[in-house]
Amino acid sequence: MLQVQLEVGPDPAEVGRARRWARSRLAGSGIGADEPVAETLILLISELVTNAVVHTGCPAVLRMLFRSSGAAQSGEQETVRVEVADTSDAPPRPRHADSDETGGRGLELVDGLADRWGWQREGAGKQIWCEIDRCERPAIVPAQSVGGLIRRPAF
């Protein structure tokens, strides 16, 4: 498992920096910018970091965790986990925004896009996390030759 992290200051401008940092880390982990999962992860990161910065006014830590590269080679599903930890002990409060409100949809968006999400206490504060499953192409299984015929394993 590979884990990378970024400290984020309590300034809304830090959200853009977190997105740029996350894009470079996704590319470094083998997730191409053209993959739909990359844009989904960037959107989730943007929402979670924005919530931490705007609603707590505290510094935060953004972490991304990637399953080791061996998972992709074996054809297993990879999971990318995003965690945002802050020093506020106030639990997240999902809400349903009215159609004319400009905010209040962040956790609804996370709930709709992530495969799983939740939160837990971390130190004196909390951590909000979400996970996206990245489906890989099945591993190529070599054909077997039996009596001159090529035979592929049944899946």
* Tens digit of each residue's pLDDT (9 = 90 or more) over 95-123: 776 676 656 677 888 999 999 999 999 99
User: How many other C-beta atoms can be found within 10 angstroms of the C-beta atom of residue 144?
Assistant: 10
User: Mean pLDDT lowest for which of 79-88, 108-117, 131-140, 142-151?
Assistant: 142-151
| pLDDT per position as a tens digit, 30-51 | 899 889 999 999 999 999 999 9
Question: What does the alpha-carbon distance between residue 98 and residue 105 come to, in Å, rounded to a whole number?
Answer: 9
Q: What is the pLDDT of residue 20?
A: 96
> What local confidence, expressed as pLDDT, does residue 142 receive?
47
What is the domain-level CATH number for residue 144?
A: 3.30.565.10
- pLDDT tens per residue across span 47-62: 999 999 988 888 999 9
- Calculated CA dihedral for residues 134, 137, 138, 142, nearest 10 degrees: -150
Total structural domains in the chain?
Answer: 1
Domain that holds residue 89: 2-151
Scan for tokens 């349903």, then name that residue.
96
State how far the Cα of 120 lies from the Cα of 140, in Å rounded to an integer.
39
CB atoms within 10 A of CB 124: 9
What pTM does this model have? 0.78
